[in-house]
Structures are given as structure tokens and as C-alpha cells.
Amino acid sequence: MSDRTAVNLLTQIEAAVTAGLDLQCQLLEARSEAPIDSLAVEMEPDGQGKPRVANLMFLPVGDDEVQEVQLLQLHCTLPAVVAAERRADLEHFVTRNNSIVPIGAFSITVDGVLVFKYVYPLGKARPFEASEFLELFLLWMFTLDSLSPVFEDVASGARDAAAALAELG
């Protein structure tokens, strides 16, 4: 995907999110410290009032590798601090619960940061459909809002992983 195509699609997404969801966005064009164009979307604060930002970017996949779709990643870093002694329990918890998460997946980076992400395939031959994207983005945010408090509690040790597993079913 060309840089201009990515910026054009991100601009369309920005317009849809701003008009349809009344969320503030900022288009960040590629630069040396972040070589991929992205869109930062200021989401509603979490249940504890902490600010959250969704970062949207097209994954750099060559046209010879993926010919019919372009891959848009929705990514949010959670404000959880993963204590080293909690990491193994949290990894088990994340693995078990990702099978019931309706859309997206939680993961832990090598640096111990808890993230929630989803890769949305957009057809290259189809025009961007704002209503389709907004419905998916709302579902992704709803999933994040519903489950991130539990994941953050397990990460911090405020909630036992086994009890949280039983609670989520």
C-alpha cells in the first residue's frame, strides 16, 4: 500500500470517527521515530478516569504477499502495570480468555505492557464503508471497556487469576 493510500484511508476513518462518534483524532504521518502513518483516537476514559488512546495503522505488508486486502490494526495500550511476579498468572489468564473475547485479543509485550488489539481486513477493491467501520470500532471499544478492568485487576494482583477465570466463565 502506498503512503498516500494509507493517509487517504486514515483521513476517511478520522472523518467517520469524528462525525459518527464525536471522538477527537489526530493523524500522525510517518516520521523517523514512527515510520508508519497512524491515527490516534482519544477514547472515553476508562472506569477509573484514566485517559485511553486507540492507535490505528495499516500493517506494512507487501502487495505481493497480500493482494486483496489491507490490514488495519486497532491497538490500545492499557494503563496496567504487570508486576514480574504476576506475569505467569496473567499470561495464562490472557491465553484462556482470548478464546471467549468476541473481537480483538489481549496480549503482553516483552516489556510487560498489557495491550488490546485487533487486525481488521479492508478489501482493496471496495470503497471505505464508514458505517461498517464504526460498528466494528464500537464493538471493539465495548469489548475493551467490558474486559479491561478484569485484566488490569489480574495484572496488578487486585484480583486472583483463578477467581477471575471462574467469573468470566
**How many angstroms separate the CA atoms of 42 and 44, rounded?**
7
Q: What is the pLDDT of residue 33?
A: 76
Whether pTM exceeds 0.95: no
Provide DSSP, 93-155. Answer: HHHHHHTT-SS-EEEE-TTSEEEEEEEEEEESSSPP-HHHHHHHHHHHHHHHHHHHHHHHHHH
Tell the CATH topology of 3-168: Yope Regulator; Chain: A, (3.30.1460)
With CA atoms as reference, report the closest residue to 43 among 31, 51, 35. 51
Distance from C-alpha of 56 to C-alpha of 58, rounded to nearest angstrom: 7
Q: Residue 153 corresponds to which cell in the numbers above?
A: 485487576
In the prediction, which pLDDT does 2 show? Answer: 58
Alpha carbon distance 26, 42 (integer Å) = 9
Q: What per-residue confidence (pLDDT) applies to 47?
A: 77
Residue 11 has pLDDT above 70, yes or no: yes
Tell me the average pLDDT of the chain.
88
Return the domain boundaries, the chain: 3-168
pLDDT at position 55 is 97
3-class SS at 41? Answer: strand
pLDDT in tens, 34-86: 788 999 999 998 878 888 999 999 998 766 777 788 899 999 999 877 878 88
- Rounded to an integer, what distance in angstroms lies between the CA atom of residue 91 and that of residue 76? 18
d(CA 79, CA 63): 35
